[in-house]
Amino acid sequence: MSFLKTFFGSTSRSSEFIEVISPEDFGKAIKNPHVQLVDVRTAREYNNGHIAHAVNIDFFDATTFNETFKRFDKEKPVYIYCRSGSRSQKAAARLVGMGFEKIVDLSGGYMAWDNTNTFL
């Protein structure tokens, strides 16, 4: 948690709602196919490879991003990832602003996942 406070700032509301976890822990957490798993990369990136059962919601398309996430359950965790972790951090902050209570971000993004997903 201290990493999050350092990263987001101790006064940031985001630190209460966002957890950044390792690819191994992320993989264990998303084994249930009913989790809210979201790839926030572009459609082209998603089509070049993605985590099974992930829904693609492009972070850069703000209208679609906001409208699609309105249909998600804000009380259930949302597991998100992007290419390297930068976009998903921004997406997580946006989700906190939309009222989501728990966002779990894949540390290192799909690049880290792609290199370590042999445990699944």
Catalytic sites, residue numbers: 82
Euclidean distance between CA atoms 25 and 115, whole angstroms: 14
Q: What is the 3-state secondary structure (H, E, C) of 58-107?
A: CCCCHHHHHHHHCCCCCCCCEEEECCCCHHHHHHHHHHHHCCCCCEEEEC
